[in-house]
Amino acid sequence: MSGRTRGIKDVLWALALAGLVAGAFRLWFGLGATTNLTDAVPWGLWKILNMVAGVAISTSGFTVGFLVYVLKMERFKPLMKPAILVAFLGYGCSCLALLFDIGLPHRFWHPFVMWNEHSFLFEVFWCVILYFTVTSIELAPLVFDKLKAEKVSRFLHRIAFGAVIVGISLSSLHHSSLGSLFLVTPQRLHPLWYTPLLPLLFIISAMGAGMMFLVLLKILYARWYDPVSIFGPRDERRRLVLILTGKGKEAEEMGPARGRDLPMVVGLASIATGILGVYLLLQIFNLFYHGAWQALDVASWETWLFAFELFIAAVLPLALVWSPRTRYSPRALGIAAFSASAGLALNRLDVGIFGYFHDAAQIYFPSLAEWALSVGVVAAAGLAFFFFVENFPVFDDDWFERRRISRMVEASFDSLSRVWRTALKSGLERASLIGVVVVPLAWILMYPPYGEPDPPEVRPAAGMNVTRTQLRIDGNQAGVQTEFPHEDHKERLGGEESCVTCHHMALPEDETTPCFRCHTHLVDSTMIFDHEEHEAFVAEEEGFGGPYPENHTCAVCHTQGVTKTAETAKSCMDCHQEDTDWDQEVEEDPTVDLARAVSYMEAMHENCMGCHQDEAVKQDRPELRDCSTCHSSLTPRDHPVRALADQQVRGGSTSMAGGG
Amino acid sequence: MSAAILVDVTKCTGCERCVDACVEENGLDPVQAQKDRATTEDGLSDNRLLSILQVEDGRFARMSCMHCVEPSCVSACLVGGITKTPEGPVVYDPDKCIGCRYCMLACPFHVPRYEWDETVPFMKKCAMCFQRLNDGLEPACVEACPNDALHFGERDDLLRKAHDLIASNRGSYVDRVWGEHEFGGTSVLYISDVDLASLGWPAPDTEAIPSLTEPLIEKTPFIGLSVAGGLLGLNWIIQRRRRLGAEAVAAQDEGAGGATGPAASEAVPEGEDEGEEAKLAERSSP
């Protein structure tokens, strides 16, 4: 019996362990390094999928409680314990994921003592925490029954009804409030999803889809542990094939293949799809009520997503459950339940993520670590689910008896398989084996520092023509550029003699080393002194035959007996003055660190602005001082607009000012 | 008193001296600020709380926190970590923040920034130099502006000044003070000769965002209590029906002289639903 779920559990272990690695990276390296969240998309997968959708899918705890305890629909009583388990695990794993999502997890308790009762998030926090407590109380009898703590158990059973009432009240609040969270973004959320009815839509869809999720779990449980209860004794697959191939009559002759629990499950699915039907009508009503139909546009992907979401969330489940042909088919029921659950998740992703893309003007796709943690937390909940159903009577009370028999049968198999089984018998052993494979793999794939982008490089001032009479200075390559009449400046300043005015330092045996050669970073200063190369060069010049013999090379620049630092070393210009052919001596400012090149931008500004400011006074042309002289985009209104190429580049209405 | 800043877009040349002053005043890294200027969409980052945006060719506008009169972020923050001070600025308390980033989602101007690169991150935004205000100084950006494009003062005074400027320079301004009514009013006001929709300004009559949520959330306790009350009431009705129904069945059984004993009185068959119970209850009424 455990063989059916062993493969699934192995996968869940692998996913959960990968999630663990992702969680560790998140805590160690921070949100920016591990997620693809940005200032434009502050809420991502963890909050929307795990929290908003995860809580919404776990509604069966209160809906089935309502049916059984308040409406006294006793026939759904067998689903009560599974429903509570779903609620407990759903809320538990949502809270866990949220702990990783918030920037300061160690302050998760702040909302307990710091209140803002105007915030829907505050309400959601309190309701979720209180409801999680309620589900724990509701689930506790299961554990205490097994522990044979009868007094506790009796007490818990006595307060069960009260717990259900409190649970439903809390649920009615926070499931709608999860929708209200998005009411604060009327300008940002896409009109197809933004509506004042969000709270109502959220709670109704959560109620319907939550029950459908329970249906799905019941069917899966039956498949794995108790097939007769749902699938019945007959060959259901053959029946479905007959129906799908158009041989409906033969299928009817086979008669309905019903397990003993199937009518109950269909009953719940009928109620659930009834609620989803109301949800569908409400969505359609909302299109007109809020005027969102104006946003329906065949050309926008949002419209198709919206339609697809409604189709899988409501239309398909309704059709499958209410069509007489598929109503009692467990397979179709399973598809309907899966579709409704996926539809709910998609709706929450739409409202919380996809609906903001048009506003953020960028696409958010979760990083690998985000996926890993998101899925890993759910996988952990899945493992907990298996633990509960295999060790406590959740779905059916005679589970232990059946497992005892099946173990006896298993034990009677040949010794070879027993060896295999004992080797990998304990779940923990298997899990640690999986861990040995998965953890290093996840580590390698998700290690955050690998993903860091390279710093922007400075591009040389490109010649606009072969003779370099006109240069285009575009250090940041962002299209914000400055055109520099190189030849014009050279002539005006006195021909070849004037090169040194701007080319203040040159590489040995060079006269006009271009700016970008040293000023390599757009906004950051960089180290340009190559110590190793200097050593080698000095050794060769002085005939030492190698860089280090008896520290002779050091003595060329560093004073002996003093700590060797850049400050105590010989001035650069002591050697480099001879190296250049400059007639004019470069003034040496002791405060300037020649080994460090200032940023490209600073270099350009300092190089140009000194002369420009002097000339502005000398020639009485104040406009020479203006930013607009070089940066056409900074043209003040009173100055003649210079028609420059970069106007074409910056077509947009709002863009960064200035140049590079 | 309620302090505010008036931005005269016609006077701004985009020199960004206000940005430099802001970076210095807030102790931010100027090199990183320059990097962020080149790499972010709107020049705002956790290290650059103020930015100059080009609205049109040759038209620039200061972009930062608008210090709304009814701020959405203040209403959204679940721990009350952001407050609208009586002095005007909207200020953030890093000691309360848990890092949920709801303020970033709630802000209609996309202003709050997050320290994504930090392991212990906080939200960052302009606080209108709240400390300087307390010391009787103007905000650093206003002080740094060489072109008289930024004015600091009481919000009411600045509004009057703005309308005066528009009236006395008829034709050279659009007849609108951005920030007077939008989202319930802001404490950063704009006058301009070009439209400022690209800064994120909506129609003038756009209501304050808290007015969309706060009336709703005030009803929360009543909704919760009335749901609980309704449930108890419903439960009572159904319990009573069941009891009456069971008594009727017992009475019938006795009348027929059939099976006796306590088992018969509990004979409410499983799978009973409300409709059938109602019928039973009706039968029992005479």
> String of b and e for A531-548 (b: at least 16 CB within 10 Å)?
eeebbebbbeeeebeebe
Residues 6+ apart with CB under 8 A from A338: A216
Q: CA geometry: angle at B104 spanning B100 and B106, to 5°?
A: 100
Per-residue H/E/C for B39-84: HCCCCCECCECCEEEEEECCEEEEECCCCECCCHHHHHCCCCCEEE
**Are the beta carbons of B38 and A476 separated by less than 8 Å?**
yes
Query: Mind listing the pLDDT tens digit for each residue in B53-62?
Result: 888 877 888 9
**Are the beta carbons of B98 and A107 separated by less than 8 Å?**
yes
Please say whether the beta carbons of A264 and A396 come within 8 A: no
How many inter-chain contacts (A to B, CB under 8 Å) are there?
Answer: 241
**What Å distances lie between residue A269 and A144, A458, B121, B233, CA to CA?**
31, 63, 45, 27
pLDDT (mean) for B213-222 = 90
pLDDT of B7 strictly over 70: yes
Query: Mind listing the pLDDT tens digit for each residue in A64-73?
Result: 999 999 998 9
More confident residue, B167 or A461: B167
Residue with tokens 């992907």: A301
Question: Which of chain B's residues have a Cβ under 8 Å away from the Cβ of A641?
Answer: 58
Structure token pair of residue A176: 């709608």
Which of A251, A277, A275 minimizes the C-alpha distance to A329?
A251
Chain A residue with the nearest C-alpha to that of B125: A39
pLDDT (mean) for B70-88 = 95
**Are the beta carbons of B80 and A114 separated by less than 8 Å?**
yes
Partner A contacted by B169 (CB < 8 A): no
Question: Which of chain A's residues have a Cβ under 8 Å away from the Cβ of B217?
Answer: 117-120, 123, 177, 180
| Partner-chain residue, chosen from A37, A120, A456, that has the shortest CB–CB distance to B116 | A37
Please say whether the beta carbons of B39 and A456 come within 8 A: yes
The confidence score (pLDDT) of residue A480 equals 56
pLDDT along chain A (660 residues), means of 10: 73 95 94 91 94 95 93 92 95 94 95 94 94 93 83 86 92 93 92 94 96 96 84 67 73 67 93 97 91 84 94 96 89 95 97 90 90 96 91 79 66 51 62 87 83 58 60 62 81 80 74 78 77 80 66 75 76 68 54 72 82 85 77 41 29 35
- ipTM score for this prediction: 0.85
**Range picked from A444-448, B225-229, B269-273 for highest mean pLDDT:** B225-229
| Percentages (nearest 5) of helix, strand, coil residues in chain A | 65, 0, 30
Which of A624, A625, A628 minimizes the C-alpha distance to A643?
A628
Q: Using CB atoms and an 8 Å cut-off, which of residues 165-194 of chain A contact chain B?
A: 165-166, 168-170, 172-173, 177, 180-181, 183-188
Chain A residue with the nearest C-alpha to that of B77: A119
Structure token pair of residue B145: 């502006």
Partner B contacted by A523 (CB < 8 A): yes
**What Å distances lie between residue A422 and A390, A404, A416, A564, B239, CA to CA?**
19, 18, 10, 67, 54
Question: Which of chain B's residues have a Cβ under 8 Å away from the Cβ of A352?
Answer: none
- SS3 assignment, position B151: strand
Rounded to the nearest angstrom, the minimum Cα separation between B109 and chain A is 9
Question: Which of chain B's residues have a Cβ under 8 Å away from the Cβ of A170?
Answer: 224
| Partner-chain residue, chosen from A39, A456, A635, that has the shortest CB–CB distance to B38 | A456
Give CA–CA dist A105/A99, Å, rounded.
5
Partner A contacted by B41 (CB < 8 A): yes
The confidence score (pLDDT) of residue A510 equals 72
**Are the beta carbons of B16 and A658 separated by less than 8 Å?**
yes
Partner A contacted by B18 (CB < 8 A): no
**Are the beta carbons of B110 and A71 separated by less than 8 Å?**
no
The confidence score (pLDDT) of residue A157 equals 85
**Are the beta carbons of A657 and B52 separated by less than 8 Å?**
yes
Q: Using CB atoms and an 8 Å cut-off, which of residues 553-582 of chain A contact chain B?
A: none
Q: Using CB atoms and an 8 Å cut-off, which of residues 63-102 of chain B contact chain A?
A: 72, 74-81, 96-102
The confidence score (pLDDT) of residue A376 equals 97
The confidence score (pLDDT) of residue B82 equals 96
More confident residue, A479 or B26: B26
DSSP A521: S
**Are the beta carbons of B116 and A122 separated by less than 8 Å?**
no
The alpha helices in A424-542, defined as continuous H runs, are 427-446, 486-493, 499-502, 531-542
What one-letter code names the amino acid at A449?
P
Give CA–CA dist A255/A336, Å, rounded.
22
The confidence score (pLDDT) of residue A586 equals 55
